[in-house]
Chain A
Amino acid sequence: MQPAAPLLPPADWRDFLALTKPRVMTLVVFTGLCGMLAAPVSINPVIGFTAILCIALGAGAAGALNQWYEADIDSQMRRTSGRPLPAGRMERQSALHFGVGLAVFSVLLMELAVNMAAAAILTISILFYVLVYTVWLKRRTPQNIVIGGAAGAFPPLIGWAAATGDIALLPLLLFALVFLWTPPHFWALALFVKTDYANAGVPMLPVVRGEAVTRTQIGLYTIPMALAAVLPWPLGLTGAIYGVTALVTTAVFALMAAQVATRRQVPGDTMKPEKRLFGYSILYLFIVFGALVADRWFA
Chain B
Amino acid sequence: MKTQRCKGTRDLSPGEMELFRLIEGTFRDACLNWGYQEVRTPTLEYLHLFTSVGTLTPGMLGRVYSFLDWDGWSGERVVLRPDGTIPVARLYIGSLEKEKLAKLFYVANTFIFEATGEKTRERWQCGAELVGVSSPSADVELVMLVLEVLKQLKIDGVKLKLSHAGLIRVLLARLGLSSEEQARVFDRILDGNTRELAGLGLDRNELETLSSLLGLKGKSSAFVRGLKALLAPDLAGLQPFIDDLVSVAGLLEALGADYQIDLASVRDFEYYTGTIFQLFKGRDKVGGGGRYDALIPLMGGKDTPASGVALYLDRLMDMVRPESLVKSGAPRILVRAEPEAAKEGFSLVTRLHEAGYRAEFNLGAQAVSGFDWTLDVKGRAPKFILTNKAKKKFEAQNIEEVLKLLKR
Q: Are both chains from one complex?
A: no
Q: Interface on A for B, CB 8 Å cutoff?
A: none
Q: Interface on B for A, CB 8 Å cutoff?
A: none
